[in-house]
Structures are given as structure tokens and as C-alpha cells.
Amino acid sequence: MSSAWADGTGGADVSDVIVVGGGVSGLTTALVLAERGHRVRVWSREPAAATTSAAAGGLWWPYRIEPADLVGNWALSTLRWYQELADRPEETGVRLVSGVHRGEQLAALGPWAAELTSLVEVEEGLRARLPLIDMPVYLGWLERRLAAAGGVIERRTVTSLDEAAARAPVVINCTGLGARGLVPDAGMRPVRGQLVLVENPGIEEWFTETDPVSEATTYFFPQPGRLVLGGTAETDDWNAEPDPGTAQRIVARCARVRPEIARARIIGHRVGLRPARDAGVRIEAEPLPGGGRLVHNYGHGGAGVTVALGCARAAAGLID
């Protein structure tokens, strides 16, 4: 990458690809393309640390995502990537951590589960050793690796995908919930997730328990310097502010599993709006006027972190 292209001076402000959206899907897609030799720019309204991706709990697991027949391969491809990155946890934010999915059964999972050598059925549910990702650290690592590959990230609010199409022959739409207005895609809807951050009272394993008929979920993830408690799955709720009553109920549910959580000091709150899509993930290309191409990569629901690399490679395959 030339320095002129990096700082936008001279006539070098031309890219092969503009990726719209700077969350985990956008950054990963941009990285895949940059490392394949494309000149890539990411247009993002906000820094990665302020995106929905940064609020994610960070456990690898195909959760609230369709279509089932494609998710398995995307997730396994991403799993192998995280397993490699877990060799450098302080740098990448990725660790392999053991825990239990209470109430889950192997028979209810897809064929992808057979590839998880650590996954075993126990009386409580399913026990596994899985990637647990410290999202702020990981997103920062993605940004640095993208820059090293020649990619450029620009803070830019996009009101139309035509803006990007006027600047590059290939546009990749990784806007998550933003696709509702930009595409437009009325099938995009938020699934609100609220988290509570507490000082870790000594918990070393993660835990999850979901209730398919309730908006309330119960989970805790030991991250460096904190324990992340959850959560909620509130469809069509656009409220991005933490609710104190919801926070109290989250702590109470987690404390029923591990009583010491009740005494843990609260150090923060997070809310993320998962970008769910009625028809499932959309990875699809369509022509642009003048011979360009628009590639969509959005609608990852509650598993954007879990399928990020697999979906990025699928999207990149539509232009390579």
C-alpha cells in the first residue's frame, strides 16, 4: 500500500473494494480481501469499539442464526481461525475456555457438532472447550492486521450505498441493522441483548442456559478483568440504553447458578442490538450500474462473531 493511498492525498484515493460497516463482519471481510491483494477501504460510522460487535459476550457458538444448512461450515471455518489465534491470547483477545451449555443435547445440534472434539454430553448438558473472545481486544487486533495488509479505515456516515459505488467497482455491504434502511431490507430487525459487567469473584468457566420461550437468557463469561453476565434476547426492541431492572434480574439469574456472583461489584453495563434477519444471513451479489458489483454480507443475528471468517470468505468468493 502506498502512503498516498493511505492518507488519501494525490490521485491514489481509489480502491478496488469499499466495505461499508466496521464491525466484526466488515473488518473480517476487509481483511480477507486485503490479504488477497485487493486495495480495500472500510467506511464505518463509528470506531469498532463502539459497534454492536464490541458489546458481544464473545463465546463461539452458532446462536440465533440461519440458514442451518450453511451456518455449520461458516462456523467451523471461523472456529479453526480462533483456535490458531488462541496461541496468542494477550495479542488477539482469543482464549480457549471450558464451560457448559446447560440443557443442550447433541441430538439437537447440526452435523457441525461432530467436528468439535471437545464437545461431550454430561448430565447437566453439553460440556466443551471453546473460543472465548475478548471483543474490544480482538477488534483492535483486526484493525491493526488490516492496516498491516494495506487496508484503510475511514470514519464515514453512509446514507446510500451509491456513495460507495461511486468510489469503487466493488462494494460490500456489512452494515448489519443498517441494511434495513440502506438496502432497504424490511426483514432486518434488532434482537436486544443487555449485559452486566462485574468483578470476577473467581469463576474460570463459562456457562449458558437458554429458554426458547423466554426473552431472558442466563450466561456468564470470564473475560480478562471482568465477568460478563447476561442476558436478554428481546426481538424488535431498539432501546440501546441499559435498563436497571433488567440488570438486577440478570445478576439474580446468574447468582442462582453461582451464588458468589450476587456479591460481585458491578463495574459496567452493555447493550447490543443483534442484527437478525427474517430470511437468515444474506451473502449475495448483485450488479451495479456501470459494471460494478454489490455484495451483501449481513443478517448474522446472534452469531456474527461465530461465523465472521466463514462468511467473509464466502463474500470474498463472489468477487474473486
Q: Is 131 exposed, middle or buried (0-12, 13-18, 19+ CB in 10 A)?
A: buried
127 and 99 in contact (C-beta within 8 Å)? yes
Residue 6: Cβ within 10 Å count: 14
pLDDT given for residue 5 in this prediction: 26
pLDDT band at 211 (very low <50, low <70, confident <90, very high): confident
d(CA 80, CA 187): 31
130 and 94 in contact (C-beta within 8 Å)? no
d(CA 231, CA 197): 11
pLDDT band at 7 (very low <50, low <70, confident <90, very high): very low
Residue 218 parent element (H or E): strand 216-223
313 and 41 in contact (C-beta within 8 Å)? no
d(CA 237, CA 13): 39
Distance from the Cα of residue 25 to its chain's centroid = 6
For residue 257 the three cell numbers come to 447458578
The mean of the pLDDT values for the chain is 94
Q: What confidence tens digit (pLDDT) does each residue in 9-37 have? A: 333 466 899 999 999 999 999 999 999 99
Which of 282, 274, 280 is closest to 66 using CA atoms? Answer: 280
Indicate the SS3 state at residue 210.
Answer: strand
Which of 50, 65, 240, 228 is closest to 143 using CA atoms? Answer: 50
Indicate the SS3 state at residue 275.
Answer: strand
Q: Is the per-residue pLDDT at 223 higher than 50? A: yes
Q: Using the 8-state DSSP alphabet, how is residue 243 labeled?
A: P
Indicate the SS3 state at residue 267.
Answer: strand
Q: What confidence tens digit (pLDDT) does each residue in 83-128 have? A: 999 999 999 999 999 999 999 999 999 999 999 999 999 999 999 9
Is the bond preceding residue 131 a cis peptide, omega within 30 degrees? no
130 and 96 in contact (C-beta within 8 Å)? yes
Which of 9, 18, 5, 29 is closest to 316 using CA atoms? Answer: 29
pLDDT given for residue 212 in this prediction: 77
Q: Is the per-residue pLDDT at 3 higher than 50? A: no
Domain limits for position 147: 3-316
pLDDT given for residue 189 in this prediction: 98
Four-residue CA torsion sign, 96, 102, 107, 110: negative
For residue 219 the three cell numbers come to 450466561
We report the CATH number of the domain holding residue 292 as 3.40.50.720
Average pLDDT over residues 286-315: 96
Domain count, the chain: 1
For residue 106 the three cell numbers come to 447433541
d(CA 137, CA 134): 6
d(CA 45, CA 175): 10
310 and 28 in contact (C-beta within 8 Å)? no
Indicate the SS3 state at residue 278.
Answer: coil
β 125-133/226-232 pair status: unpaired
% of the chain beyond a pLDDT of 70: 96
Q: What pTM was estimated for this model as a whole?
A: 0.94
22 and 44 in contact (C-beta within 8 Å)? yes
Which of 97, 176, 80, 175 is closest to 133 using CA atoms? Answer: 97
Q: What confidence tens digit (pLDDT) does each residue in 162-203 have? A: 999 999 999 999 999 999 999 999 999 999 999 999 999 999
